Structure 1
Amino acid sequence: MSTIDEAPAAELSWQRFWQLIDLIGGESAVAVCATLDEGCERLGEVLAAGPVEEILGYGERLVEALYRLDREEYGTQRAVDPDLPGVPVPLSDDGFLYARAAVVAAGRAAYDRVLADPELFAAHSFRSGEALLYVHEEAFEAATGEEWEHVTRYDYESCSNREGWPNL
């Protein structure tokens, strides 16, 4: 596996992926659903206007970023509702996926911090980055008129990273 800043020539670089993610607006945008939705719409428009290869590469990188967060030390944490402090609840599979997407949507700095310190994931646990999951599919359809049927190298569904869930 290459380092986070390297990519074979046919793939989207991590640097370009994070530049695209920056169009969402960072951590403050992820904190408000409407702002996240607007950021995802902006990102989708940029992707749809570019080459199809970039949409495919973006989709691959997104799934890989989500896969890297699909680990037991994140998924077994409890969600923390900011409106009900002190009342943690278990994350559902979908809730865990959406929280991982919120971490990615928050940008590279937030993502790197969470990767380095899994306890920081809890701050994202009650956020939903669900809108991010469909940006590349919608951009692909807008650009080509066809449905996204590309099979990515990684699976982003919760608990699909077998190395990250050794106790399953």
Structure 2
Amino acid sequence: MTWADFWALIATLNGEATEESCHRLAEELSRRTVSDIVGFAERHAEALYRLDQEKFGTLPVIDMTLRDRSPFPQSSDVFLYARCAVVAAGRAVWEGVFFDVDKFAPYTSTEYDGEWLLSVPGKAYELATGKEWDRLTRYCFESYSNQDGWPYLQE
């Protein structure tokens, strides 16, 4: 799947990875070939992997503070869901955050939760084949897996 095809499918989310919009995307994707479903999963994993960088992951959750009013750090799950929300927002937002880290910050809010986007490839595959998704992607999208994005973790 080309990046253009991936971003065209992401555009069907209308900027948000809600349960409803992700189900709609999975249904759309399920009408394509298994190769396209796998290609979507690969592009999605790579998009998340590229966002897996210290400059984004160390941003605080913007609408929360600790008891002492200090910034509330993102957990690994919150960081993953924020990256999903950035991808769901579309190509322009995804590309833009690499040039301006402040554009990533709003997606750390509890208002944005892109977790539903993670289920799209599996749901599409299941709808298309009747079988459970059991495939790993080339890129690991789990938080802190991009060693180039987290240089101090390379030690």
TM-score strictly above 0.5: yes
Say if 2:102 is the partner of 1:137: no
Tell me whether 110-119 or 66-75 shows the greater mean CA deviation: 110-119
Whole-angstrom distance in 2 between the partners of 1:49 and 1:152:
21
- Aligned with 1:117 (options 96, 100, 107): 100
Task: Give the partner amino acid of 2:77.
Answer: D
Deviations 1:100-119 (A, max 9, x none): 00000011111111122122
Structure 1 residue 142, shift from structure 2 partner: 1.1
Runs of 4+ in 1 over 4 A off after TM superposition: none
Equivalent position of 2:34 in the other structure: 52
Whole-angstrom distance in 2 between the partners of 1:25 and 1:38:
11
Whole-angstrom distance in 1 between the partners of 2:5 and 2:96:
19
- Counterpart mapping for 1:10-21 below 5 A: 12-21=1-10
Equivalent position of 2:137 in the other structure: 152
Q: Sequence identity of aligned pairs in percent?
A: 49
SS at match of 1:81: strand
Whole-angstrom distance in 1 between the partners of 2:143 and 2:44:
14
Structure 1 residue 20, shift from structure 2 partner: 0.2
Structure 2, unpaired ranges of 5+:
none
TM-score, normalised with respect to structure 1: 0.84
Deviations 1:116-136 (A, max 9, x none): 212211111112100000111
Task: Give the partner amino acid of 1:158.
Answer: S
TM-score, normalised with respect to structure 2: 0.90
Structure 1, unpaired ranges of 5+:
1-11, 31-35
Higher RCO (CA 8 Å, separation ≥ 6 residues): 2
Equivalent position of 1:5 in the other structure: none
Whole-angstrom distance in 2 between the partners of 1:134 and 1:52:
16
Aligned length: 149
